[in-house]
Structure 1
């Protein structure tokens, strides 16, 4: 066996171990939240030693960061496919809401709120720019396209409009549990955003 094959096999094993740890951590975070999550329980569920967790993830926050990056890339890919076709502003903004609420349904409210808290935390492990977040980039691009087509007022700042809209979604989802109230608030968020963007 060549050394290159040995390295590849070792790298593949390391990746499988990392995925097991990540899966076990997600399950623990869903149940207990990040602060309450027990690294020993995660390691046991993944079938690894306690120290192996920290070899792959320096902290529990790094697990959330990896999960956030993966999910943001997945959502961005779905949104990118959606915007390949032209849509009006209401449909586009509603699609963003559907993608974000879909993430909450998949992960449950505890882990979803942990992801949001990490995203907006001043102590998150890695600092980044808005251009590092593909969902924001895509939404900004769509608002700029709509502005160029005359659907959006020429003085609208696409970046701030996209950011405020996303913050509005997160605000509703993290503070409102009643499904009917949420649905109403999210619909009003879309209609209010569109009124603020459109040419009068």
Structure 2
């Protein structure tokens, strides 16, 4: 009986801890969107989350750790959406790359300019804390799979390295989205980038 009560108490505490973490994450993301990570005020974040100041640092040792949490969640989110698209549509490589681009553009839209730039800065930072064991880059690996499939089907050059090509493609997408912003020519530039990427892999 006591062990059952202890398990219930532990479960309730864990649920409360996760709820507090989620409130802090949501409040921090809202503040980062408004000011950028560097200028974000932890006092504003904890006030919005309704917790004590020290609670923020219990869950997130630094503001960068908020972005790491966000990165993990968003990367798996877009990977799942991309996987669903590929499973349902069985797209050719052109459509697969355009869907990958669309998913990253949607992420840019959800986060907004300031937070998207901070998100990418953290993603590529040489000083970022290491990923947990088992955490990979699911979106990258799904794009690798599509390029590998195209290579097996003979749609692209047999010498193409799927990993390198996927890395180059996604790096270019991130760089272009940050660089072109909301320029009127944005869609044309991104369309041209996909076409040139495909051309570079042709026999």
TM-score (norm 1): 0.95
Q: 2:141 maps to what in 1?
A: 137
2:94 corresponds to 1:90: yes
Q: What's the offset of the Cα at 1:158? A: 0.5
- Give the counterpart of 1:75 among 48, 69, 78: 78
2:33 corresponds to 1:30: yes
Q: Superposition pairs for residues 22-171 of structure 1, below 5 Å? A: 22-84=25-87, 85-127=89-131, 132-171=136-175
Q: 1:20 maps to what in 2?
A: 23
> Residues of 1 paired with 2:132 and 2:23: CA distance?
27
1:31-66: CA deviation from partner (whole Å, max 9, x where unpaired) = 011100011111111000010000011110000000
> Residues of 2 paired with 1:28 and 1:40: CA distance?
10
Structure 2: gaps spanning 5 or more residues: none
> Residues of 2 paired with 1:128 and 1:9: CA distance?
26
Q: What's the offset of the Cα at 1:179? A: 3.5
Secondary structure in structure 2 of the residue aligned to 1:34: coil
> Residues of 2 paired with 1:125 and 1:173: CA distance?
25
> Residues of 2 paired with 1:126 and 1:28: CA distance?
25
Pairwise CA RMSD: 1.5
Write out the 4+ residue segments of structure 1 that deviate beyond 6 Å after TM superposition.
Answer: none
Aligned residues: 198
Q: What's the offset of the Cα at 1:127? A: 4.8
Structure 1: gaps spanning 5 or more residues: none
> Residues of 2 paired with 1:140 and 1:69: CA distance?
19
TM-score (norm 2): 0.94
- Give the counterpart of 2:9 among 6, 12, 23: 6
